[in-house]
Amino acid sequence: MSRVIIIGAGGVGNVVAKKCAQNDSIFTEVLIATRTVSKADKIVAEIHEHIPGSKTTFSTASVDADNVPALVALFNSFKPELVINVALPYQDLTIMDACLETGVHYLDTANYEPLDVAKFEYSWQWAYREKFEKAGLMALLGCGFDPGATNIFTAHHAKHHFKEIHYLDIVDCNNGDHGKAFATNFNPEINIREITANGRYWENGEWVETRPLEISQDIYYPKVTTRKSFVLYHEELESLVINFPTIKRARFWMTFGESYIKHLSVLEGIGMTSIVPIDFRGQKIAPIEFLKAVLPAPESLAANYTGQTCIGVQARGIGLDGQPKVHFVYNVCDHAATYKEVQAQGVSYTTGVPAMIGAALMLTGTWKKAGVYNVEEFDPDPFIAEMNRWGLPVDELAGIELVHD
């Protein structure tokens, strides 16, 4: 019996809302609040059409999540227990401030990033720890797939398979095809900023920087394919190397097709991915914002998407029996199946389902502690059980090294 506000009605917001509608014994009243309210209205209409038996009551509202007083007024009028933030990383701090002011728990899927600096890290949000503790409130950070499920998979390795994890490789393959020459699977601004930045991985107690897409190798993704994969910096590395201090090296790998890289390097070469505003006919506009307006909306890719994603975590180290061990935990998700179920492509689905699960675990008190936490700080078992139940089955592969030194 819980009242929840979902902020954001993009690709991920759509999935979170529909999974809440499926899990209606926990999510009884849901308000979808976003900048463009017609997008929230569309989601609610689809819920009535595709999940007609759901007992969850939905309403919608327009809100500017950059504006704390506007958020506070909204939270005070709806009185939610929890806010699920699936707007953009730029809004994390304003939403956390509004939660503190109104006594509401908080969950997100991406760490804070200032609008004008291409830099994302947890420091800004970890600085809220004391405030949340004192208020008796919980903030759960990075509860999507990566970050999110990948942190949980690491916690699962640590709990069930390893005495010490030494080498961690997180691998993310999207082997899907949406038929477009160039498009990003989630918010283009965030996606392009992530990929065009320098890479970084953790080794022997420090960060090693690489040029964008400098390091690559072919990786076999079980049940899906073998694909060239590139090292890039990804935010879960920051909390994982702190929470699992035996890790000597932690890397994140992602697949990109040749055509994707070709388009991206041309766009970058001509300055279209820049976040520095330029003057255009008397208006200041960041080229990347204009590019976003030109590219297909991530949610529009869903209808014709085929193929699968495979995201997992390989750990190497000392097993519980004291012997060297390698183990892989992963999920495979099918784009066409997720479209059939919730009218979304797999990348939105793999993010939205863990967000719903994290919220459900907080609302039922399974995961409940005042303060600001990353997901690996909680027991992974109930989370993995819920992944198996809500459409993201978890598989394991023992003794085969998929990612090499």
The closest of 81, 30, 91 to 362, measured between CA atoms, is: 81
Q: Which is nearer to ligand NDP, 13 or 380 (CB)?
A: 13
Task: State the DSSP code for 375.
Answer: G
Residue from 46, 66, 341, 401 that binds ligand NDP (CB under 6 A)? 66
Closest approach, Cβ 206 to ligand NDP, in A, equals 25
Q: What is the DSSP string of 49-73?
A: HH-TT---EEEEEE--TT-HHHHHH
Which helix (H) or strand (E) segment holds residue 246: the answer is none
Footprint (CB under 6 A) of ligand NDP, residues 289-308: 298
Spell out, one character per residue from 215 to 254, where the chain touches ligand NDP: x when CB under 6 A holds, - when not. Answer: ----------------------------------------
74 binds ligand NDP (CB under 6 A): no
In angstroms, the Cα distances linking 163 to 160, 323, 327, 354, 386 are 9, 9, 13, 27, 25
Q: How far apart are CA 250 and CA 254, in angstroms?
A: 14
Q: What is the DSSP string of 332-370?
A: EEEHHHHHHHHS--HHHHHHHHHHHHHHHHHHTTSS--S
Residue from 25, 36, 76, 388 that binds ligand NDP (CB under 6 A)? 36
Q: Which is nearer to ligand NDP, 162 or 373 (CB)?
A: 373
The answer to whether the peptide bond before residue 114 is cis (omega within 30 degrees of 0) is: no
Secondary structure class of 136 (helix, strand, coil) = coil
Q: Which is nearer to ligand NDP, 88 or 267 (CB)?
A: 88
Q: Which is nearer to ligand NDP, 12 or 213 (CB)?
A: 12
313 binds ligand NDP (CB under 6 A): no
Residue from 2, 23, 60, 91 that binds ligand NDP (CB under 6 A)? 91
Q: How far apart are CA 248 and CA 166, in angstroms?
A: 5
Secondary structure class of 150 (helix, strand, coil) = helix
16 binds ligand NDP (CB under 6 A): no
Q: How far apart are CA 175 and CA 201, in angstroms?
A: 24
Residue 109 · residue 235 · CB < 8 Å = no
Given the DSSP bridges, would you call strands 324-334 and 308-319 parallel, antiparallel or unpaired? Answer: antiparallel
Spell out, one character per residue from 349 to 368, where the chain touches ligand NDP: x when CB under 6 A holds, - when not. Answer: --x-----------------
CA dihedral 112, 66, 133, 240 (to 10 degrees): -10
346 binds ligand NDP (CB under 6 A): no
Strand order in the sheet with 371-374: 57-62, 27-34, 2-7, 82-85, 105-108, 138-141, 371-374
Residue from 110, 138, 359, 372 that binds ligand NDP (CB under 6 A)? 110
Task: Tell me, by CB under 6 A, how many residues bind ligand NDP.
Answer: 31
Residue from 4, 31, 51, 65 that binds ligand NDP (CB under 6 A)? 65
Q: Which is nearer to ligand NDP, 147 or 371 (CB)?
A: 147
Closest approach, Cβ 71 to ligand NDP, in A, equals 9
192 binds ligand NDP (CB under 6 A): no
88 binds ligand NDP (CB under 6 A): yes
Footprint (CB under 6 A) of ligand NDP, residues 139-168: 144-148
Q: Which is nearer to ligand NDP, 150 or 162 (CB)?
A: 150
Query: Which residues sit at the interface with ligand NDP, rule CB under 6 A?
Result: 8-13, 34-36, 39, 63-66, 86-89, 91, 109-110, 144-148, 186-187, 190, 298, 351
